[in-house]
Structure 1
């Protein structure tokens, strides 16, 4: 296979007039409709990293001015991120690599005998880490059906007893395949009725809408900085302290201990976030993520949401007008969603279409099953049945919007698809 390298082009801030309070960086001429995989870097994140770089040093326990400054920046970042997501006084904010890392950390911290209940519509990060014996519910056909299914499953597990082994509900806030929003607050209430805890994968919702753990009444939240315009390799697990403090450290090593003696068993592990942040942490990633949170906290999120919904409607209507395009969806067509649309072109290989869009029109989209194979395959089968087409490809295309996206970006994609016909 021949790989063609794209020559480097100097990134620039998006043009004035775009509703983009973060100053998202872009490359002139390129249309990036792949935000759901990794969002571009915000100027706020890049500036925060550049400002700290001359002072860069290891955090915690250093006596020098550089180390003290970096330690302060790291812990301030923790506070800023916690405040942005509505952390409660007794919550821990643990820095991780990404959402996958955060959910694997929580999976390692589950008390013995915990049953995890999730849906088959999850990203692999919220399907694969959980222990054997977990309950996987079918993909519902509506948000209300999701609540009913969870309530019934929890009632069956508990059988009227609320003092049995722990139960954790694991659910996405917005699908990375369809963009459809899940009824997190209602699912949390169902969990409460049956004395279960709930963790929310907010990787796809957080870039598009405010997420507050206290308002939603959820126990744990997992997010990725690289989907939130801070592509420096940091994520967060935020939530209840008790399970995290009782669990063995996620990474055994420096920083995770308060005492190590001469004997192999003479170890006392640290409490709090440090227990699960062994080794030198990603200081720059944490600072970048905090900078984005600060910028978003000061932005008009309602206006940003309204602009994105206009673009999303333009995209979906344009796709619907193309005779060979079929959209993937689990819920009704008018269900609430963020700026993500997956679709197929009948009779066309999705990878070839993605390559054509990039090569001929400088439009970047994603193709494949989007690390959600059970969901994507089911939706492809349902799309074939709904459309009556027997020539749909086995993988899909995904266009995802974000800060800096414009109507011109959407129109270029639609025109390119129309030209392909």
Structure 2
């Protein structure tokens, strides 16, 4: 194997702000932090941090200032719209609306849908709870059968929108977006995609796939500065009341009424999150620089290493949603035959410096359908993950499952924690 192949397959593909972070462990000392909670929030790319540092001295008002910094920041925000649209292959007349995150983006879309929305039970709560007129289709054990169930639902009772996740945040299984778009359009519905998990790992092409609306978050795409995006067709967005009523969303205001703008500004009242918007655009540019093929191969190799290693850990079952899924992101959620995944997660962090997530991952209906235990433990990979990260996790997990934690823990309302925690408290204030 060449040095390039070694780095691409097993080493970090990108430089992240948390690279080399040392964290304390019980009993004293520190270890290199292993971040396997990327599916929840990804650390910032170094290139994003550097870009934000360059932008901050010029921070100023957007769209209404006459000063040089204001003009520069206004241009930055509008150029970011172009970057987002280009990166996801948006149509020329699609709107790019900046929001707080995916949840905010889908709540905005829910406020403009002129009819019912059909969703699957496997959705993250962000794509399950906002819809005001919602019908939920329970997924089958195969993707093919699930598409048939969706088609039957839309045929029996038309809907305005079909909204689906691009990839499960529980299992990492990727859904066939092109097929879902064809299915929705054939039944007179539009397709929205929650791409919070998918976009940081796979290139999405809105126009080519037939996606009508796409939502994603910066904090899962290596730009954790509090911004997200909704991209899609203008007509519903222009016809609906503004998402927020306030300055910037109006052409004119009278004491007896207002004239609202059309386009993205209609739903972007108030001062925008300039730093978050700049961070998203720079993160997308950096992901492009890394290359789609390189990112896919890096993740494919690490995902295979992770899943192969889990097979050898006794008393562990990997949760899956579909028997015919042939593509998955770098996510593995397990349940234990015995013991508490919450305790294991706490011990992984406190004794081994490894961050994972325990729970039902804001996808309660799906988790309850496919799991046999109350909670699962999720390990998730990203562009900054390495083969050593995977190996350390597998070794620590096997030791904890076989021998139990080396320290005593107690369970409280907030979860498991060490009975005696001698790690120094970190003060970031």
- Map residues 17-416 of structure 1 onto 2, 5 A cutoff: 18-21=11-14, 23=16, 25-26=18-19, 27-28=21-22, 29-111=32-114, 114-132=115-133, 134-158=134-158, 167-263=160-256, 266-332=257-323, 335-381=326-372, 393-416=373-396
Structure 1 pair 258–248 and aligned structure 2 pair: CA distance change class (3 A) = same
Q: Which residue of 2 aligns with 1:389?
A: none
Give the length in aligned residue pairs.
384
TM-score for both structures, normalised by structure 2: 0.87
- Closer, same or farther in 2 for the Cα pair 1:249/1:22, shift >3 Å? farther
* CA distance 1:333–1:198, change in 2 (3 Å): closer
* Conserved? CA contact 2:354–2:393, under 8 Å: yes
8 Å Cα contact 1:188-1:218 kept in structure 2:
yes
> For residues 410 and 253 of structure 1, what CA distance do their matches in structure 2 show?
48
Deviation of the 1:405 alpha carbon: 0.6
CA distance in 1, matches of 2:345, 2:190: 40
Partner of 1:388: none
Q: How much does 1:167 deviate?
A: 1.5
**d(CA) in 2 for partners of 1:22, 1:212:** 26
Distance 1:171 1:262 in 2: 42
1:167-203, Cα deviation, whole Å (9 max, x unpaired): 1000001000000001111010011111110100011
Q: Structure 1: 5+ residue runs without aligned partners?
A: 1-14, 159-165, 382-392
Contact kept in structure 2, 1:121 and 1:139, CA below 8 Å: yes
Residue in structure 1 matched with residue 406 of structure 2 by the alignment:
none
Q: Deviations over 1:209-235 (max 9, x none)?
A: 101101111100000000000000110
Aligned to 2:408: none
The answer as to whether partners of 1:22 and 1:292 remain within 8 angstroms in 2 is: no
Give CA-to-partner distance per residue, 1:295-319, whole Å, 9 cap, x none.
Answer: 1122221122112111111111111
Q: In the alignment, is the contact (CA less than 8 A) between 1:24 and 1:229 conserved in 2?
A: no
- Please report how far the alpha carbon of residue 48 of structure 1 lies from its aligned counterpart in structure 2 after TM superposition: 1.2
Q: Does the 8 A contact of 1:109 with 1:244 survive in 2?
A: yes
Measured in 2, the distance between the counterparts of 1:239 and 1:71 equals 22
Q: How far apart, CA to CA, are the structure 1 residues paired with 2:145 and 2:180?
A: 11
Conservation of the 8 A alpha-carbon contact between 2:142 and 2:323: yes
On the 8 A contact 1:24/1:404 being kept in 2, the answer is: no
Q: Which residue of 1 aligns with 2:412?
A: none
Displacement of 1:154? 1.1
CA-CA distance at 1:25 after TM superposition: 3.5
Q: Call closer, same or farther: CA 1:334–1:60 in 2, change over 3 Å.
A: closer
- Structure 2 residues not aligned, in runs of 5+: 1-6, 23-31, 403-429
Runs ≥4 residues deviating over 6 A: none
Match of 2:407 in 1: none
CA–CA distance in 1 between the matches of 2:67 and 2:295?
43
> C-alpha displacement at 1:97, in angstroms?
0.5
Q: Do 1:117 and 1:169's aligned partners in 2 also have CA atoms closer than 8 Å?
A: yes
Counterpart Cα distance in 1 of 2:350 and 2:381: 20
Q: Alpha carbon RMSD of aligned pairs, Å? A: 1.5
Aligned-pair CA distance for 1:341: 0.7
Q: CA deviation at 1:146?
A: 2.1
